[in-house]
Structure 1
Amino acid sequence: MDLYPYTVAEEFSCQVAYFSMEFAIDQALKTYSGGLGFLAGSHMRSANDRRQKLIGVGMLWSYGYYDQSRHEDNTLKIDYKRKFYYFLEDTSIKVEVTINSKPVTVKAYLLPATTFDTAPVIFLTTDCFENDHLSRTICHKLYDANEETRIAQEIVLGIGGVKVLEAMGVDVDVYHMNEGHSLPLVFELMKRYSNLENLKKYVVFTTHTPEMAGNEEHNVYLLFRMGFFNGFSVEDMQKKLDYYDEHFSLTVGALKTSKRANAVSKIHKSVANEMWQDVKGRCEIISITNAQNMRYWADKQLMSWMQEHEDYQLVGRKKHLKYRLFEEVADQTGKLFDPDILTIVWARRFAEYKRPGLLIYDMERFRELVSNRDRPVQIIWAGKPYPLDNRAVHMFNDLIMMSKEFKNVAILTGYELRLSRLLKQGSDLWLNTPRWGREASGTSGMTAGINASIHFSIDDGWHAEFQKDGVNSFTIPHSDPSLPNDEIDRLDYLTMMQKLENTIIPTYYENEKEWLMIAKNAMNDILAYFDSSRMADEYYEKLYF
């Protein structure tokens, strides 16, 4: 099967198989939930741009993550609708994996490289007529809440993915685990490389988060019963990995079976090495900072006008992009926003540590902010909470109820690729408020910044490597991370509001030339280092080789 429509560059001729539970490649392909998928999608685009010999391996989710809509009172409604993708090619390849002592058929579809200008991607599904109903449901929902279903999904991705590549005749040099979900692949490879040191030569691993929810653990005997270890007994696995904890961490397993691993920013490298310092026999954890594919995300006219045209043309294009975003705001909320007004956006996955509600920490001060007629602001929130994270869902709904009080505050639903791009191109200020040390990288600010939306962020993740406060961004210096969370939130809020009220808003309204200079500096700096072509090259240079 001819997978690559381009001539592979000589320096990237090592055949890599990139395993990821989610890929955000196009609005029409609902195989992602958030940042991990956005990152994987950009990696696939840049692998194509750089003519790399890389193939993605993911899952074809019959119902996606979920469809985000509204109840009659405007609060969040979670819908599941079956998806159909006529642009995927049936490879006619079927392999068998064992789950819970029962054979399950895995079918493979191909997203050709030419469809969306990406690396080729294989999508796996068990939702086919060869399987019984229970086996078909394995691939129904991304990040299914049932623990056994999640484990089954990981078996399909890891073991099924290796078998499909073999059936396709793809001679893989490096298996890249993008997070620990595909760890079962190493237990399939162990049948070929019984010596762990030999196995490690072919496996690398990317860890994306210090959050424990993103570093899955399961009872080791449950994993054995489900078939996670691919026929190896618990005792065999423990002896091979020198890992005897009854609570089996996928991240620890990946660190013990890879030749090298990477964190996704310089700060995250320090955090990850500290988190996993006691893991005996783990591989080295280096840093490869995340990036995004600007060919996909950047407005082409903004990019071309950044250097070659007068400032008024840049301003005119930005207003046009704001109009396009505000059409969506009006359609969803019935609120008419003004393109001449400073528009602040907070948009990303809804999680407590990201603090989506930090801006309304002091509600009276917030009312003063949004009611100021001399220096008005417009504020938009968007994002998807995990459907069973009740705290995050309540935060989202609380913001919706709060927004009913204001004509210039909107909460948008349907946060997927299309809306994300509208928000990044149509905003003036992109707000990022995680507790310091818990944002491994973050990438939404990169794709906002390339569209002249200035990044206003805690000095964490990628922002700490990028920021020149007042030159290409605005920074919120973090408070002492050893303090209790309530005190951290209070201090970070005060620092954020002081910068917003005393520097950012006055600059926007009183010094357009300086505002545009900051925006243009950011666009140049992001393009220079935070385009995913640099990241894709670094994976070959620092991880695969």
Structure 2
Amino acid sequence: MDRNVFARVWELRVGRINVYLLDTDIPENSAEDRLITAELYGGDLEMRMRQEIVLGIGGVKALAALGIEPDVFHMNEGHSAFLGLERIRLNVVEKKLDFYSALQVVAAANVFSTHTPVPAGNDSFSREMMQKYFGKFAKELNIPFDELFSFGHTRLNPNDPFSMTILALRLSRHANGVSKLHGEVTRSLWKDVWSGVLIHEVPITSITNGVHTKTWMAPEFADLYQKHLGDWEEHVTEPEFWRGVIDIHDAQLWETHQQLKRRLIDFIRDRERHRRERLGESPESIRKVNRILDPEILTVGFARRFATYKRGTLLFSDKERLKRLVNDATRPVQFIFAGKAHPRDEAGKALIQEVYKFSREPGLENRVVFLEDYDSYISRRLVQGVDLWLNHPLRPLEASGTSGMKSAPNGGINLSVLDGWWREGYNGSNGWAIGAEIDNGTTEFQNEVDASSLYQLLENQIVPLYYAKPDGKLPLAWLQLMRESIRSVTPVFNTQRMVKEYTEQLYIPAARGYQNFSRDGCGAATHLSQWKTQMRKDWPQVQISDVQVANKDRQSISVGESLQISARVHLGAVDPQHVRVEAYHGEVDNGEISNPTATVLNQSSPADGNGSYIYQGSVPATESGTYGFSVRVVPTHPCLMQAHELRLITWS
């Protein structure tokens, strides 16, 4: 398109960090363009496209205008993925590189994190819209528009729309999901971007999210840790240090927690009193506020964005059973709900309305509360004050989740589906896991299983444990669980550990890659680009013509022995130093090799004159069982940053 959009840059100082915000609501822009940054979730796909151009391309230009020249760019979700195209364009225009050489430089220095485990949550644009906004841009990159468009889809179906997530994956050599399970889901979700590559080898790793512990920890708990453990902020990531919670006296730990619980309940009553006064309710109704919740009762919290997959109404699937729980004469339970829905998520809003209605029903009022106007302040009050933190997303749709991480440093215990972070956090003695790890049942079946499990855990394990007070005062077994929750969750699920992992696993390799490809007039990038072009041209010649097993008894090999493998590989014009020949082996399960390992086979004989070579190696038989193997050839080059960057594999 032939028009300029201007943006004012706002600088926001958050501690030692500068945050830059782009604002198009300025006189230099048309009325239409002034709205681009007005509303995050407003507008149609066209508005979304404009916002993502301003964020991605405008973001790169803004940093340049500020004199900031980063080596590494980190994209969170695909919304900013156009920054990769702008960085390539700058290399083409300023350094006179061709598109594919510039791509090597830029992709080496891009990091991409995806937080969305469903395809529908990823932005995509039609071919027509991309042509409208990027037709001219493709000319600046010196490539045909169709070639540019292909960077936004799997290349298996040319009719697919242009996916921002696929663009980000293609323009990054470093990509991650935000928990171990989410990494597995993401590799499976985007496997077609690496067509032909085995799912577990798709180059998407995982770094589990964390929370800023000091932000969410109540000052009372911070003081308690300071007194009994020492300078906890300096040792927040050290599991051994947190074993010190064992030394905190039962009465002190319980009283600190109860103090925060009383504060939470006072806060909720205060808000409800103001709400009833605002609505002009009767003096009797306002007096009844003091009956809402009770600090001596087991208190369960559920607060988050109300997306349908988080199943905010799962607890209400058996109302009679719930009423028996909350109205038990000697061991009652109370629940506090809070949250907001995405402005466009009508189903999510409907869930909030349902929860609110349930909280007003006879038999549930005063024991089930919904807090309005959810924000970080309410969230902090909740995670610091409840006994039990409830989370039951539809597995495996929770990429990570962090609310339960915030509860643990405050002595809160998690009751959650084994999804997102809790699949790693749960150790069998620091909380409870709802339901089985179902991967392929229907939604209805999973709802049924998880609701049943939730009620059984509450009735048979959680409630009895909370109210078991051998000395008549303190729930000693519950206190042990609190300690284990603090000890196991706090040192692992925090931002210090998370940032350290991003730095070591992604940022430093990306910075090194950028430096390697940028030096000497980007010589290494140009060389790698040319090598890839030649390799793609020559690869069809690569064939594995014969595989032999040298062992006398091929079918039965004793543990401790090795399988001797030799393979005849025809490489044609491909240089042997640019291939890796591997035996791919592992236990056979339903005809598939599970938990595979790749063992490199070494070249043992020179070419026979027509480009064929013999490769040999041995695979140790370390455990008993039924095993299988295959032989494969993959291209290799010292400058490749991913094992399957070319998506080329030849199998026997």
TM tier, smaller: 0.7 to 0.9
Question: Counterparts in 2 of 1:518-529, with a 5 A limit?
Answer: 518-529=481-492
Question: Counterparts in 2 of 1:74-473, with a 5 A limit?
Answer: 101-112=2-13, 116-193=14-91, 194-195=99-100, 196-227=103-134, 230=137, 234-238=145-149, 243=155, 244-280=158-194, 284-306=203-225, 307=245, 309-334=248-273, 335=289, 336-405=292-361, 406-469=365-428, 471-473=429-431
1:513 matched to 2:476? The reply is: yes
Corresponding residue for residue 613 of structure 2: none
Q: Could you tell me how far apart the structure 2 residues matched to 1:328 and 1:389 are?
A: 29
Note if contact 1:184-1:228 (Cα within 8 Å) is conserved in structure 2: no
Residue type of the partner of 1:494?
S
1:52-94 C-alpha deviation (Å, 9 max, x unpaired)? xxxxxxxxxxxxxxxxxxxxxxxxxxxxxxxxxxxxxxxxxxx
Offset of residue 241 of structure 1: 6.6
Note if contact 2:135-2:145 (Cα within 8 Å) is conserved in structure 1: no
Offset of residue 298 of structure 1: 1.0
Offset of residue 309 of structure 1: 4.1
1:241-260 C-alpha deviation (Å, 9 max, x unpaired)? 78544411111111111011
Offset of residue 216 of structure 1: 1.6
Residue type of the partner of 2:116?
T
Q: 1:245 to 1:175 in 2, by over 3 A?
A: farther
Q: Give the TM-score taking structure 2 as reference length.
A: 0.65
Kindly indicate whether structure 1 or structure 2 has the higher relative contact order, using CA contacts under 8 Å at least 6 residues apart: 1
Corresponding residue for residue 34 of structure 1: none
CA RMSD of aligned residues (A): 2.1
Q: 1:101 to 1:452 in 2, by over 3 A?
A: farther
Matched length: 442
Corresponding residue for residue 527 of structure 2: none
Corresponding residue for residue 611 of structure 2: none
Q: Could you tell me how far apart the structure 2 residues matched to 1:422 and 1:241 are?
A: 43
Corresponding residue for residue 450 of structure 2: 492
Q: Could you tell me how far apart the structure 1 residues matched to 2:333 and 2:137 are?
A: 56
Q: Could you tell me how far apart the structure 1 residues matched to 2:426 and 2:380 are?
A: 22
Offset of residue 447 of structure 1: 0.5
Residue type of the partner of 2:76?
N
2:502 is paired with a residue of what secondary structure?
helix
Offset of residue 239 of structure 1: 5.5
Corresponding residue for residue 475 of structure 1: 433
Offset of residue 236 of structure 1: 4.0
Q: 1:245 to 1:234 in 2, by over 3 A?
A: farther
Note if contact 2:152-2:164 (Cα within 8 Å) is conserved in structure 1: no
Offset of residue 385 of structure 1: 0.7
Residue type of the partner of 2:501?
E
1:278-333 C-alpha deviation (Å, 9 max, x unpaired)? 11479710011111110211113214425364222222222222233223322333
Note if contact 1:155-1:228 (Cα within 8 Å) is conserved in structure 2: no
Offset of residue 477 of structure 1: 3.2
Offset of residue 384 of structure 1: 1.0
Q: Give the TM-score taking structure 1 as reference length.
A: 0.77
Q: 1:255 to 1:240 in 2, by over 3 A?
A: closer
1:427-452 C-alpha deviation (Å, 9 max, x unpaired)? 11110001111111111100111211
Offset of residue 177 of structure 1: 0.2
Note if contact 1:468-1:474 (Cα within 8 Å) is conserved in structure 2: no
Aligned residues with identical type, % of pairs: 36
1:495 is paired with a residue of what secondary structure?
helix
Q: Could you tell me how far apart the structure 1 residues matched to 2:58 and 2:23 are?
A: 9
Q: Could you tell me how far apart the structure 2 residues matched to 1:346 and 1:384 are?
A: 12
Question: Counterparts in 2 of 1:35-74, with a 5 A limit?
Answer: none
Note if contact 1:229-1:237 (Cα within 8 Å) is conserved in structure 2: no
1:394 is paired with a residue of what secondary structure?
helix
Residue type of the partner of 1:180?
G
Q: Could you tell me how far apart the structure 1 residues matched to 2:492 and 2:438 are?
A: 29
Structure 1: 5+ residue stretches without partners:
1-99
Offset of residue 264 of structure 1: 0.7
Offset of residue 101 of structure 1: 3.8
Offset of residue 118 of structure 1: 5.0
2:329 is paired with a residue of what secondary structure?
coil
Identify which range, 102-111 or 228-237, moves more after superposition: 228-237
Residue type of the partner of 1:310?
H
Note if contact 1:458-1:477 (Cα within 8 Å) is conserved in structure 2: yes
1:19-48 C-alpha deviation (Å, 9 max, x unpaired)? xxxxxxxxxxxxxxxxxxxxxxxxxxxxxx
Q: Could you tell me how far apart the structure 2 residues matched to 1:460 and 1:480 are?
A: 10
Note if contact 2:430-2:482 (Cα within 8 Å) is conserved in structure 1: yes
1:383-407 C-alpha deviation (Å, 9 max, x unpaired)? 1111221111111011111111211
Structure 2: 5+ residue stretches without partners:
92-98, 226-244, 274-288, 470-474, 510-652
Offset of residue 127 of structure 1: 1.8
Q: 1:479 to 1:310 in 2, by over 3 A?
A: closer
Offset of residue 117 of structure 1: 2.4
Identify which range, 222-231 or 103-112, moves more after superposition: 222-231
Note if contact 2:151-2:166 (Cα within 8 Å) is conserved in structure 1: no
Structure showing greater radius of gyration is 2
Offset of residue 370 of structure 1: 1.4
Offset of residue 161 of structure 1: 0.8
Q: Could you tell me how far apart the structure 1 residues matched to 2:433 and 2:104 are?
A: 44
Residue type of the partner of 1:345?
G
Corresponding residue for residue 459 of structure 2: 501
Note if contact 1:101-1:227 (Cα within 8 Å) is conserved in structure 2: no
1:543 to 482, 503, 506: 506
Note if contact 2:466-2:478 (Cα within 8 Å) is conserved in structure 1: yes
Q: Could you tell me how far apart the structure 2 residues matched to 1:135 and 1:236 are?
A: 29
Offset of residue 208 of structure 1: 0.7
Q: 1:477 to 1:108 in 2, by over 3 A?
A: same
Offset of residue 109 of structure 1: 1.1
Q: Could you tell me how far apart the structure 2 residues matched to 1:433 and 1:203 are?
A: 34
Identify which range, 318-327 or 289-298, moves more after superposition: 318-327
Note if contact 1:479-1:491 (Cα within 8 Å) is conserved in structure 2: no
Offset of residue 474 of structure 1: 1.2
1:305 is paired with a residue of what secondary structure?
helix
Corresponding residue for residue 589 of structure 2: none
Residue type of the partner of 1:139?
T
Residue type of the partner of 1:495?
S
1:220-243 C-alpha deviation (Å, 9 max, x unpaired)? 321332459845563241366785
Q: 1:324 to 1:152 in 2, by over 3 A?
A: farther
